[in-house]
């Protein structure tokens, strides 16, 4: 992964140019794509640190491209869109987006969100061989590691997973998990929690394919079952 390269997939040349200039000022290398045609090949050849992805692209749209990227690319994806409907935000989460930024936006805020997403995605932790749990929670940096690797969690995913990890065996209702999101709760439906859980499970199994630690309790919610040491 190129730790300082950010893909900007945006067909509006003015917006792309502003983002490029701000990225350069923050020390990143910006690679611009006016549509989706070359993004997958470029991401396979040299995975970026993060991807800014416009939702409304000519040809293949951002939803479809994000889903294709998630087949092989773990770089955080931040969707840029003028759409504000809940269904669009939910669809973005379901296709694997890590963050959702509505236009018009503050370029400084976008830079802060990129930096936060990269911090969550980067790094490794040294596992304590004597520890009973295969996970670690860094509450100060708001990140969680599984099997020695930091998971690329969005802020909402961190809040949900930290709640589950904090009380193993407890069943949290969807409403209780939504409450844990606080100001990050852009979505207010149970389906939003299901989308977060789908992404969390995918990110854990990308590190540990055998992990089956988050159980859906029918009619109630979700529970974390910590694996036992063999």
For residues 133-141, give the mean pLDDT: 73
Render pLDDT for 38-95 as a digit per residue (tens, 0 to 9): 999 998 888 888 999 998 888 888 889 998 888 778 788 998 887 666 666 666 667 7
- Collapsed DSSP state (helix, strand, coil) of residue 31: strand
Q: Which residue has the higher pLDDT, 137 or 7?
A: 7
Burial pattern 94-112, b for ≥16 Cβ within 10 A else e, equals bbbbbbbbeeeeeeeebbe
Interatomic CA distance for residues 44 and 31, integer angstroms:
14
Domain definitions of the chain by residue range: 5-121, 135-224
For residues 119-124, give the mean pLDDT: 60
* Adjacency order of strands within the sheet including 99-102: 29-33, 5-9, 50-54, 77-81, 99-102
Given this model, what pLDDT does residue 122 score? 61
Given this model, what pLDDT does residue 182 score? 66
Given this model, what pLDDT does residue 56 score? 86
The whole model's pTM is what? 0.55
CA dihedral over 74, 217, 189, 179, signed as positive or negative: negative
Fold classification of 5-121 (topology level): Rossmann fold (3.40.50)
For residues 184-212, give the mean pLDDT: 81
CATH 1.10.10.10 correct for 135-224? yes
Render pLDDT for 147-186 as a digit per residue (tens, 0 to 9): 878 888 888 888 899 889 888 888 999 888 888 776 555 5
Q: Same CATH topology for 5-121 and 135-224?
A: no
User: Average pLDDT over the chain, rounded to whole?
Assistant: 82
Given this model, what pLDDT does residue 201 score? 93
For residues 197-211, give the mean pLDDT: 90
Interatomic CA distance for residues 32 and 12, integer angstroms:
11
């Amino acid at each position: 992964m190129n730790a300082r390269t950010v893909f900007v997939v945006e067909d509006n040349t003015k917006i792309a140019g502003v983002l490029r200039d701000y990225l350069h000022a923050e020390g990143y290398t910006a690679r611009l794509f006016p549509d989706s045609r070359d993004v997958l090949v470029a991401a396979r050849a040299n995975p970026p640190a993060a991807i800014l992805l416009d939702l409304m692209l000519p040809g293949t749209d951002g939803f479809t491209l994000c889903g294709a990227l998630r087949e092989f690319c773990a770089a955080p994806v931040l969707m840029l869109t003028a759409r504000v409907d809940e269904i669009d935000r939910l669809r973005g989460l379901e296709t694997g987006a890590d963050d959702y930024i509505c236009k018009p936006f503050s370029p400084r805020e976008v830079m802060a969100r990129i930096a936060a997403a990269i911090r969550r995605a980067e790094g490794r932790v040294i596992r304590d061989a004597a520890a009973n749990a295969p996970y670690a929670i860094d509450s100060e940096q708001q990140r969680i590691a599984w099997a020695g690797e930091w998971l690329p969690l969005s802020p909402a995913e961190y809040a949900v997973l930290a709640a589950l990890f904090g009380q193993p065996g407890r069943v949290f209702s969807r409403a209780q998990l939504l409450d844990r999101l606080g100001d990050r709760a852009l979505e207010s439906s149970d389906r939003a929690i299901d989308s977060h859980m789908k992404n969390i499970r995918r990110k854990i199994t990308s590190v540990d394919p055998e992990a089956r630690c988050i159980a859906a309790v029918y009619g109630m919610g979700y529970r974390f079952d910590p694996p036992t040491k063999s």
